[in-house]
Amino acid sequence: MLVIAAESLLKFVYMAGAISVALYGLNALWLTLELWRRPRPAYTPPPVQNEWPRVTVQLPIYNERHVVTRLVNAVAALDYPHNKLQIQLLDDSDDDTRALADGVAAAWRARGVNISVVRRPERTGYKAGALAYAMDDATGDFIAIFDADFLPTPDFLRRVLPSFLAAGSGDVAFVQARWDHVNRNYSPLTRCQALALDGHFGVEQPARSAAGYAFGFNGSAGVWRRAAIEDPAVGGWSADTLCEDLDLAYRAQLAGWRGAFVDQVAAPAEVPPQLIAFKRQQARWAKGSVQTLRKLGGRVWRSPWSLTKRIAALAHLGNYLIHPMLLLLLLVTVPIVWLNVPVPAPLAALSFTSLGPPLLYAFAQRRLHADAWLPNFLALPLLMLFGMGLALGNSIAVWHGLRSTGGSFARTPKFHVQASADEWRQSSYRLPISRETLLEALLALYAGAGVVGAVYWGNLWAAAFLSLFALGFTLMFGIEVWQSRGPAMQPSPATGTRSAAPPRPATQQRARQGAPAQRPEANERGIGD
């Protein structure tokens, strides 16, 4: 009787996990088909505006010694009327980034750029807190945001702002542009990340936007209408989730505003070269999106949106739930194959949904990189293994997201890695190995034991499935150990290469440095890194 009960429980859990994973694949198929039937809008040059609106560009940074100069140089080169553009460098740093930020801001200010450095007494609320704090000094009617690793092109604002200014666009709260990648070909890891992000920005975001469904602001390379942020029905920036961007976007759309996605405009950025940094980024997104689901899921379901739109929104907010489902499948499949427990045959019919993610990534590459889509797409097998290997860390993050609000904002370090010769291991920003690495090794052994059992019983389907987990966790463990070799060096305050960081003042006052009214022409600019 006990054996029968255990087998029934294993079957039930397996079925629940298999159906959940199938729904994830089905969602990818739906988004791909949704976009496939809609022709991509042809590029049209930005219209000539008689009067451009005031824009504030906010650059939230925290300990970004390697990229802060590159970021400010790119933003200072934006081709926009000098009397309508304000740049705020929101610096929460407590290392030598402070001196670098002050130096590059002063250099551009001396050349007529309206740029100020804003510092807070305390780093309360992390990025959301910094964005909210700086609004008091912001002069723009529109707020553009770029994270530290971004390099917007000079025409970015002129190409994005028309989406707010066209007739009938008064209810557009935010416009999100596509992310591109300055270091796609740096390593196999960066190629996999670029492929995954292209799937999001090449299919998922434009499909949701084109269908009129809710979608998220991605936190960077986008512009907000200030009136939408300050709308009492929206509530402004909030730090009670780690995805403050997704949270604000959904609250705005629930309040009657809408978003716009422009995949014809791309902002290059750097993807993490360190696997542990990539995992940290993914875990933060997983925790924050689930926190947003907890916070707003009920409001979404009770909203006057159509049933299809509500289901699409909940699927979007719950996207990271796939990882605990995958981990659950691993944990139950191993005893199922060793006990030779038969699973319901109809589940095999769900396997067609596994085509969803590959088709999504292939279609995204065809849309975005027609001349190089196949070489880019060949990173898919490795991306699948990384996806399996992320199941542990993202499941832990989802668990924390289901149980708590807010939390520590674990930043993703940026290393100014673009060319293949660029090195990052000597940076003090390099992250150490955690206890999670050992758990990944144990899960690799666990999955490997399942492969042995599946082969023994002749269950080749289960053997192939478990092999993905075994290889994925082995890959994570091996790369993390390999990338941890060698000591990290402390950078110096002056050059960002060695020595200790300067001490942080005990107290800070709001530092908003004045800016001159004059600004030189774009072709006179250029302050090197």
User: Which residue ranges make up each domain of the chain?
Assistant: 2-37+319-483, 55-279+295-305
Gap between the Cα atoms of 28 and 396, Å rounded: 24
Q: What is the mean pLDDT of residues 132-156?
A: 97
Alpha-carbon dihedral of residues 500, 501, 506, 507, nearest 10 degrees?
170
pLDDT over 60 at 345, yes or no: no
Q: What is the pLDDT, as a whole number, of residue 525?
A: 44
* pLDDT bucket at 495, cuts 50 / 70 / 90: very low
Sign of torsion over alpha carbons 101, 106, 107, 109: positive
H helix intervals, 115-187: 126-134, 156-160, 162-165
* pLDDT bucket at 407, cuts 50 / 70 / 90: confident
Amino acid at 223: V
Q: Over pLDDT 90: what percentage of the chain?
A: 77
Sign of torsion over alpha carbons 324, 242, 358, 278: negative
**Residues 431, 280: contact at Cβ < 8 Å?**
yes
Q: What is the mean pLDDT of residues 286-315?
A: 97
pLDDT over 70 at 443, yes or no: yes
Q: Look-up: residue for tokens 């199922």?
A: 336
* Mean pLDDT taken over the chain: 89
**Residues 271, 220: contact at Cβ < 8 Å?**
no
Gap between the Cα atoms of 426 and 488, Å rounded: 4
Gap between the Cα atoms of 239 and 216, Å rounded: 16
The DSSP letter of residue 502 is P
Whether 136 sits among the annotated catalytic residues: the reply is: no
Q: What is the pLDDT, as a whole number, of residue 13?
A: 86
Q: What is the pLDDT, as a whole number, of residue 500?
A: 33
Whether 245 sits among the annotated catalytic residues: the reply is: yes
Gap between the Cα atoms of 89 and 61, Å rounded: 7
Q: Catalytic residue among 92, 95, 180, 198, which?
A: 92
Q: What is the pLDDT, as a whole number, of residue 6?
A: 79
pLDDT over 50 at 155, yes or no: yes
Q: What is the mean pLDDT of residues 366-394?
A: 96
Gap between the Cα atoms of 522 and 54, Å rounded: 18
Indicate the range of 187-196, 411-420, 469-478 predicted with least confidence.
411-420
pLDDT over 80 at 232, yes or no: yes
Is pTM, for the whole model, over 0.85?
yes
**Residues 82, 518: contact at Cβ < 8 Å?**
yes
Which one is predicted more confidently, 47 or 184? 184
| Topology (CATH level 3) of domain 55-279+295-305 | Spore Coat Polysaccharide Biosynthesis Protein SpsA; Chain A (3.90.550)
Which strand (E) or helix (H) includes residue 224? Answer: strand 222-225
Q: What is the mean pLDDT of residues 162-180?
A: 95
What is the β-pairing status of strands 222-225 and 55-61? unpaired
Q: What is the pLDDT, as a whole number, of residue 411?
A: 85
Q: Catalytic residue among 149, 245, 247, 263, which?
A: 245
pLDDT over 80 at 117, yes or no: yes
Gap between the Cα atoms of 281 and 414, Å rounded: 11
pLDDT over 70 at 175, yes or no: yes
**Residues 24, 323: contact at Cβ < 8 Å?**
no
**Radius of gyration of the CA atoms of the chain, in A:** 24
- Token readout for 148 is 């530290």
pLDDT over 60 at 508, yes or no: no
